[in-house]
């Protein structure tokens, strides 16, 4: 990316040199289609993203395809590229982004969207798809941001909805077989986009024209009868048969998540009403213990990591979690590999689980109660109690843990001051309960709700910036300080997130304007500017502060209604109505089918994946014995 003479003049030059262990470089002659897998953030963040490692492996295992990586450089290196006229290139072959047939962006977080524009321009690619020359790369997007890609629609040729392991190779095969690959004319490019739109899970925004609704929203409509009215997400049914990277690229620098990662399951049916992942990635699918043990052994042998993190939306929900932990400890004991769980619900954490996790060394525990009052937990359908959290923390301290991280949210529907103060009271109760156990350090992280598409809270009008600040002040003043570190998410950044999460195609102009005003790496607090977003919105006739609190109604048409992620709009509306009354909806794996609409996708029902059997009475007895000891 950077010529050798410039590397010593930038921070962390190892970000730009490539050649890491397990990276793959394929010669040009053996490749039909070359794809740049672009992550719109810096190297350390992108190298922590498991989805990117999976897709890198999925593409490169096919002999006639090549997948190479690109990240956005830190501002000092970006300035060097601009000053010297060098383009942004891939790490594997040092090719400019403009020299690839396909560029695939990971849409992981809304505030990375302006960085996508920066990467395209720095890579020599025309920003808007309608202005691209026929020979320029196809720009694709995928990931959770594809749940509502409309703010990015004018910059992308296509979006992949859902699991990428099957649909991405199909996209590349279609490109390889197209006339456009050998003769890059505008007509062949248009024909290729039509062919891509026929693949299940592929949305080509250029084949949909925006229509303005009575509420002033732009909602896409197919340009003709050959274009599908609804695009349905792809669902990978068998994780055991899916390709998985047991030789992931090992970064030169310490990444944000500097450890091996093992995806044990995908999907969740807990039904938290704020959670996009819980709605978008249904049904629950698990890898077998045998497959996971083999993958773990291979990954540690090929990377040298001394820690492995088990990844799913809630690891203890994995139906054979204790058997898996026992097997991994047995397999990895000689290498002294520590095992951690990436996510934990308080109602599924137990003494036996704590004992299994601490065998090598304790890596820290994170719990997400989200709300501290029972009333508000019913509103969001969290399904855990205060006693669940107390029991979980006691189990942790009884097994030797001294550091616990807690996640909460502000700005939830029906939230009152009493709910905000309840967070401080709950933390204080935990601190008191832990007294006498050599001290418990608690890190409390509180973010503002960002209502997401395809969730029951997609209709929530939200809370103003001033009100969020007031609630943060209320919480900060009430929060105990001894042994507690409080971290409050920047509410200004949350405003921009909310704007993009539920925006339409008008926001393409906003994104371009924010970028032109210097808005790059907006996901980093030190680079974010609310003023840029306010000014950019004003230029297209939008009031940012009014837009994020506008009233939404269930019967109105939404900019993402043409994208079918499996869960029906009728189910989401029922859940929104139940939230208003605090009515709890049971998990379908325990309370029977809740008619979420997923059956339309003809996939295995989540109810067919049982949970690990729980014995709460026995667990509590063990807890009491250990605590007294």
Burial of 229 (0-12, 13-18, 19+ CB in 10 A): exposed
Which stretch of 330-334, 429-433, 438-442 has the lowest confidence by average pLDDT? 438-442
pLDDT band at residue 357 using 50, 70 and 90 as cut-offs: low
Average pLDDT of the segment spanning 348-361: 62
Average pLDDT of the segment spanning 567-596: 92
Burial of 33 (0-12, 13-18, 19+ CB in 10 A): buried
Q: Is the pLDDT at 19 greater than 90, yes or no?
A: yes
Average pLDDT of the segment spanning 84-92: 95
Contact 141, 196 (CB under 8 A): no
Q: pLDDT by residue (tens digit) across 244-291? A: 999 999 999 887 778 999 999 999 988 999 999 999 999 999 999 999
Q: Which value, to the nearest 10 degrees, does the dihedral of the CA atoms of residues 283, 284, 287, 289 take? A: -160
Please tell me whether the peptide bond between 283 and the residue prior to it is cis, using omega within 30 degrees of 0.
yes
pLDDT of amino acid 617: 37
CATH 3.40.50.280 domain span(s) along the chain: 4-232
pLDDT of amino acid 624: 32
Cα separation, 556 vs 476, whole angstroms? 38
Q: 411 vs 299, 371, 376, 463, 479, CA distance in Å?
A: 41, 10, 11, 6, 17
pLDDT band at residue 591 using 50, 70 and 90 as cut-offs: confident
Burial of 179 (0-12, 13-18, 19+ CB in 10 A): middle
Q: pLDDT by residue (tens digit) across 376-433? A: 999 999 988 888 888 877 777 777 777 888 999 999 999 999 999 999 999 998 888 7
Q: Is the pLDDT at 470 greater than 70, yes or no?
A: yes
* DSSP code string of 26-59: --GGG-SEEEEEEESS-HHHHTT-HHHHHHHHHH
Question: By three-state DSSP, how is residue 212 classified?
Answer: strand
Report field, pTM of the whole predicted structure over 0.75: yes
In percent, how much of the chain has pLDDT > 90?
Answer: 74
Q: Is the pLDDT at 612 greater than 80, yes or no?
A: no
With a CB cutoff of 8 Å and minimum separation 6, the contacts of 524 are: none
Q: 72 vs 21, 45, 450, CA distance in Å?
A: 21, 10, 25
Contact 206, 189 (CB under 8 A): no
In percent, how much of the chain has pLDDT > 70?
Answer: 90
Q: 150 vs 104, 146, 493, 566, 622, CA distance in Å?
A: 17, 8, 20, 19, 52
Cα separation, 277 vs 272, whole angstroms? 10
Q: Is the pLDDT at 182 greater than 70, yes or no?
A: yes
Q: pLDDT by residue (tens digit) across 218-247? A: 999 999 999 999 999 999 999 999 999 999
Closest by Cα among 561, 437, 439, 571 to 502: 561
Q: Is the pLDDT at 544 greater than 90, yes or no?
A: yes
Pairing type for strands 202-203 and 158-160 reads: antiparallel
Q: Any bridge partners for residue 286, and if so which?
A: 265
Q: Any bridge partners for residue 394, and if so which?
A: none
pLDDT of amino acid 400: 74
pLDDT of amino acid 549: 94
What would you report as the CA-atom Rg of the chain, rounded to the nearest whole angstrom? 24
pLDDT of amino acid 184: 95
pLDDT of amino acid 347: 60
pLDDT of amino acid 251: 94
State whether the Cα torsion 171-173-178-181 is positive or negative: positive
Q: Is the pLDDT at 374 greater than 50, yes or no?
A: yes
Q: Is the pLDDT at 340 greater than 90, yes or no?
A: no
Cα separation, 106 vs 112, whole angstroms? 9
Cα separation, 176 vs 170, whole angstroms? 10
Q: What is the DSSP letter of 104?
A: E
Core vs surface per residue 445-484: b (16+ CB within 10 A) or e: bbbbbbbbbbbbbbbbebbbbeebeebbebbeebbbeeeb
Cα separation, 36 vs 29, whole angstroms? 17
CATH 3.80.30.20 domain span(s) along the chain: 260-506+542-608
Cα separation, 486 vs 444, whole angstroms? 5
pLDDT of amino acid 618: 36
pLDDT band at residue 623 using 50, 70 and 90 as cut-offs: very low
Cα angle 39-42-43, degrees, rounded to a multiple of 5? 85
Q: Is the pLDDT at 179 greater than 50, yes or no?
A: yes
Average pLDDT of the segment spanning 159-165: 97
C-beta neighbour count of 618 within 10 angstroms: 12
Q: What is the DSSP letter of 97?
A: G
Q: pLDDT by residue (tens digit) across 477-525? A: 999 988 899 999 999 999 999 999 999 999 999 999 999 999 999 999 9
Q: Is the pLDDT at 361 greater than 70, yes or no?
A: no
Q: Is the pLDDT at 629 greater than 50, yes or no?
A: no
What does residue 583 show for φ and ψ, rounded to 5 degrees? Answer: -85, 130
CATH: 3.40.50.280, 3.90.400.10, 3.90.1150.10, 3.20.20.70. Which one for 4-232? 3.40.50.280
Q: 447 vs 112, 282, 475, CA distance in Å?
A: 18, 25, 12
With a CB cutoff of 8 Å and minimum separation 6, the contacts of 140 are: 102, 103, 104, 105, 156, 157, 158, 159, 160, 171
Helices (H), 36-139: 43-46, 50-60, 75-84, 113-122
Q: pLDDT by residue (tens digit) across 39-61? A: 999 999 999 999 999 999 999 99
Contact 367, 406 (CB under 8 A): yes
pLDDT of amino acid 625: 35
Q: Is the pLDDT at 440 greater than 80, yes or no?
A: no
Closest by Cα among 509, 431, 20, 605 to 218: 509
Cα separation, 55 vs 67, whole angstroms? 8
pLDDT of amino acid 348: 62
pLDDT of amino acid 628: 33
Which stretch of 26-35, 196-205, 566-575 has the lowest confidence by average pLDDT? 26-35
Strands in 202-203's sheet, in edge-to-edge order, are: 65-71, 33-39, 102-106, 138-142, 158-160, 202-203
pLDDT of amino acid 397: 77
Phi-psi group of 483: left, alpha or beta (phi > 0 → left; psi -120 to 50 → alpha; rest → beta): left
Mean pLDDT of the chain: 90
Phi-psi group of 448: left, alpha or beta (phi > 0 → left; psi -120 to 50 → alpha; rest → beta): beta
* DSSP code string of 406-475: EEEEES-TT--HHHHHHHHHHHHHHHHHTTTSS--EEEEEEEE----TTSGGGG-----HHHHHHHHHHH
Question: If one looks up domain 260-506+542-608 in CATH, what number appears?
Answer: 3.80.30.20
pLDDT of amino acid 510: 98
């Amino acid at each position: 990316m950077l010529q050798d003479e410039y590397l010593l003049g930038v921070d962390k030059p190892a970000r730009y040199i490539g050649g890491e262990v397990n990276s793959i470089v394929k010669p040009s002659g053996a490749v039909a289609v070359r794809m740049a897998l672009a992550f719109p953030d810096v190297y350390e963040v992108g190298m922590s993203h498991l989805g990117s490692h999976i897709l890198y492996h999925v593409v490169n295992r096919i002999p006639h395809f090549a997948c190479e990586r690109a990240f956005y450089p830190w501002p000092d290196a970006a300035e060097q590229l601009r000053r010297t006229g060098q383009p942004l290139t891939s790490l594997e072959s040092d090719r400019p982004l403009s020299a690839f047939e396909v560029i695939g962006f990971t849409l992981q977080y809304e505030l990375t969207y302006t960085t996508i524009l920066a990467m395209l321009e720095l890579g020599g690619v025309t920003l808007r798809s309608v202005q691209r020359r026929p020979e320029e790369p196809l720009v694709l997007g995928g990931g959770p941001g594809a749940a509502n890609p409309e703010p990015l629609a004018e910059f992308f040729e296509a979006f992949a909805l859902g699991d990428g392991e099957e649909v991405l190779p199909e996209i590349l095969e279609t490109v390889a077989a197209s006339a456009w690959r050998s003769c890059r004319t505008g007509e062949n490019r248009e024909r290729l986009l039509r062919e891509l739109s026929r693949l299940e899970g592929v949305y080509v925004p250029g084949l949909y024209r925006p229509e303005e609704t009575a509420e002033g929203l732009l909602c896409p409509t197919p340009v003709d009868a050959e274009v599908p009215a609804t695009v349905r997400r792809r669902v990978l049914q068998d994780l055991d048969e899916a390709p998985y990277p047991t030789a992931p690229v090992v970064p030169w620098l310490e990444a944000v998540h500097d450890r091996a990662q093992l995806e044990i399951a995908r999907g969740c049916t807990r039904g938290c009403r704020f959670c996009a992942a819980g709605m978008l990635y249904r049904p629950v699918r698990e890898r077998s213990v045998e497959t996971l043990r083999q993958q773990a052994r291979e990954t540690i042998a090929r990377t040298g990591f001394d820690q492995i993190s088990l990844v799913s939306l809630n690891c203890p929900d994995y139906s054979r979690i204790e058997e898996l932990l026992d097997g991994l400890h047995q397999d990895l004991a000689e290498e002294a590999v520590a095992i951690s769980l990436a996510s934990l619900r308080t109602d599924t954490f137990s003494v036996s689980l704590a004992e299994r996790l601490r065998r090598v060394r304790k890596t820290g525990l994170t719990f997400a109660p989200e709300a501290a009052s029972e009333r508000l937990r019913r509103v969001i359908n969290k399904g855990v109690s205060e006693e669940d959290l107390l029991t979980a923390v006691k189990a942790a301290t009884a097994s030797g843990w001294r550091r616990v991280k807690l996640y909460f949210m502000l700005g939830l529907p029906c939230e009152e001051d009493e709910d905000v103060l309840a967070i401080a009271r709950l933390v204080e109760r935990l601190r008191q309960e832990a007294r006498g156990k050599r001290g418990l350090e608690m890190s409390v992280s509180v973010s503002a709700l960002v209502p997401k598409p395809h969730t029951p809270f997609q209709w929530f009008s939200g809370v103003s910036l001033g009100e969020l600040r007031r609630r943060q002040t209320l919480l900060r003043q009430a929060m105990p300080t001894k042994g507690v570190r409080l971290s409050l998410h920047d509410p200004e950044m949350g405003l921009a997130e909310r704007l993009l999460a539920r925006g339409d195609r008008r926001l393409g102009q906003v994104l371009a304007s924010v970028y032109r005003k210097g808005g790059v790496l907006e996901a980093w607090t030190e680079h974010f500017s609310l003023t840029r977003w306010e000014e950019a919105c004003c230029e297209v006739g939008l009031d940012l502060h009014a837009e994020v609190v506008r009233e939404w109604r269930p019967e109105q048409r939404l900019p993402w209604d043409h994208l079918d992620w499996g869960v029906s709009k009728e189910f989401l509306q029922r859940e929104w109505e139940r939230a208003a009354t605090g009515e709890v909806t049971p998990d379908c794996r325990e309370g029977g089918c809740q008619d979420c609409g997923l059956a339309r996708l003809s996939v295995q029902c989540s109810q067919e994946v049982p949970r690990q059997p729980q014995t709460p009475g026995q667990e509590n007895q063990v807890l009491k014995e250990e605590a007294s000891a």
